[in-house]
Amino acid sequence: EVQFVESGGGLVQAGGSLRLSCVASGLTLDDYAIGWFRQAPGKEREGISCIGSNTYYTDSVKGRFTISTDNAKNTVYLQMSSLKPEDTAVYYCAANLMRKMCTAVGGSLKVYEHAYWGHGTQVTVSS
pLDDT tens, 31-90? Answer: 999 999 999 999 999 999 999 999 999 999 999 999 999 999 999 999 999 999 999 999
Q: What is the mean pLDDT of the chain?
A: 95
Residue 127 three-state SS: coil
Residue 99 has what DSSP assignment?
-
In this prediction, residue 107 carries a pLDDT of 85
Percent of the chain with pLDDT over 90: 87
- Contact in structure between 96 and 32 (CB atoms under 8 Å): yes
- Contact in structure between 80 and 18 (CB atoms under 8 Å): yes
* Average pLDDT of span 13-26: 97
Given a cut of 90, whether residue 15 has pLDDT beyond it is yes
Given a cut of 90, whether residue 106 has pLDDT beyond it is no
Inter-CA distances, 86 with 13, 32, 68, 76, 110, Å? 12, 29, 23, 23, 21
Structure-model confidence comparison of residues 50 and 118, the more confident one: 50
Taking the C-alpha atoms of residue 120 and residue 114, their distance in angstroms, rounded to an integer, is 14
In this prediction, residue 82 carries a pLDDT of 98
79 C-beta neighbours (distance < 10 Å), count: 14
Taking the C-alpha atoms of residue 21 and residue 4, their distance in angstroms, rounded to an integer, is 10
* Average pLDDT of span 2-31: 96
- Mention every residue, 6+ apart, whose C-beta is less than 8 A from residue 27: 2, 95, 116
